[in-house]
Amino acid sequence: MTAVQIAPGVWRLPTAPFDLVNSFLFEASDGSLALLDAGTKRAPRAVLAALDGLGKRREDVTHLVLSHAHADHAGGAEQVVDATGSAVLAHEREAVYLREGRMPRPDSTTRGGRLLARLPAGGFAKVDVAGTFVDGAVLPVGGGLTVVHTPGHTPGHCSFLHASTGVLVTGDALFNVRGLRYSFRSPCTDVRLSRSSAARLGELDFEVAAFTHGAHVGDGAQVAVRAFLAGRPS
Ligand SMILES: [Zn+2]
């Protein structure tokens, strides 16, 4: 799986077949790199191969930003940090889960959530979170990432806007798997909140909509996302 350039200095790194799981790479003007999400525990091999394929040095990856504490996003974090020496950043409400290597409890008002809640909590290798952030912060990494807190999937789930290129990474607030859709309900800590907070994405200005699950959308991305959120998929 090779990296897909989606804007100048921005690449999507598929780490599972059929674009089912993606990480992202952002390059700042000084050549430093920021990764967004680490994928599953099997993903680091693909992430590192993509860096090699792009001719990027591992030690130039200064930061690993995590959208939320689920095993398919943070599961590979420890290995990525080991290989690159990057510092992990996450929302202040997500850090506790990352540091303990556990996923937030799913919403017990959904059947799937109740089922998941009865299982042993799915975990992942503990992550050493170096710094936390809140909504609206502009992370000085990868050329600048604006934090858009979109809670509900998990308490500290975030989307990110790379304002200099107009790339929006939705995280799990929206999927592009067989079309735009909301995240699956069962892993959400608050299904209603996850859907209402996704509406924030429609208020942003962006050129490219990128998803941790599914291929990115270039042409017409903002129109398509706004139409989906308004309940009239284009
Ligand atoms: Zn998730």
Q: What is the pLDDT of residues 82-114, one digit of tens each?
A: 999 999 999 999 999 999 999 998 877 776 666
Residue 90's pLDDT is 98
What are the residue boundaries of the structural domains of the chain, listed by start?
Answer: 4-118+129-229
Q: How confident is the model at residue 118 (pLDDT cuts 50, 70, 90)?
A: low
Q: Which residues have CB less than 5 Å away from ligand 1 (the ion)?
A: 70, 172
Strands 138-139 and 129-133: unpaired
Residue 32's pLDDT is 98
Q: How confident is the model at residue 196 (pLDDT cuts 50, 70, 90)?
A: very high
Ligand 1 centroid, distance to 171 Cα (angstroms)? 8
E strands present in the chain: 4-7, 10-14, 22-27, 33-36, 61-65, 87-91, 129-133, 138-139, 145-149, 158-162, 167-169, 175-176, 180-181, 208-210
Mean pLDDT for 48-77 is 97
Q: What is the C-alpha end-to-end distance of the chain, expressed in Å?
A: 29
* CB distance 100 to 93 below 8 Å: no
Q: How confident is the model at residue 192 (pLDDT cuts 50, 70, 90)?
A: very high
Q: In this predicted structure, which of 67-81, 97-111, 161-175, 218-232 has the lowest mean pLDDT?
A: 97-111
Residue 67's pLDDT is 98
Q: How confident is the model at residue 115 (pLDDT cuts 50, 70, 90)?
A: low
Ligand 1 centroid, distance to 29 Cα (angstroms)? 31
More confident residue, 2 or 35: 35
Mean pLDDT for 127-138 is 98
Identity of residue 83: A
Ligand 1 centroid, distance to 130 Cα (angstroms)? 21
Percent above pLDDT 70 for the chain = 93
Residue 206 has pLDDT above 60, yes or no: yes
Ligand 1 centroid, distance to 163 Cα (angstroms)? 24
Residue 224 has pLDDT above 60, yes or no: yes
Give the residues across from 109 on adjacent strands: none
Residues 231, 171, 75, 100: is their CA dihedral positive or negative? negative
Residue 120 has pLDDT above 70, yes or no: no
Residue 177 has pLDDT above 70, yes or no: yes
Ligand 1 centroid, distance to 153 Cα (angstroms)? 6
pTM of the model: 0.94
Query: Which residues, 6 or more positions from 156, have their beta carbon under 8 angstroms from its beta carbon?
Result: 68, 69, 90, 91, 92, 93, 94, 95, 97, 149
Residue 186's pLDDT is 84
Assign domain 4-118+129-229 to its CATH architecture: 4-Layer Sandwich (3.60)
Ligand 1 centroid, distance to 127 Cα (angstroms)? 16
Question: What length does the chain have?
Answer: 234
Residue 109's pLDDT is 73
Ligand 1 centroid, distance to 111 Cα (angstroms)? 17
Residue 234 has pLDDT above 60, yes or no: no
Residue 185's pLDDT is 85
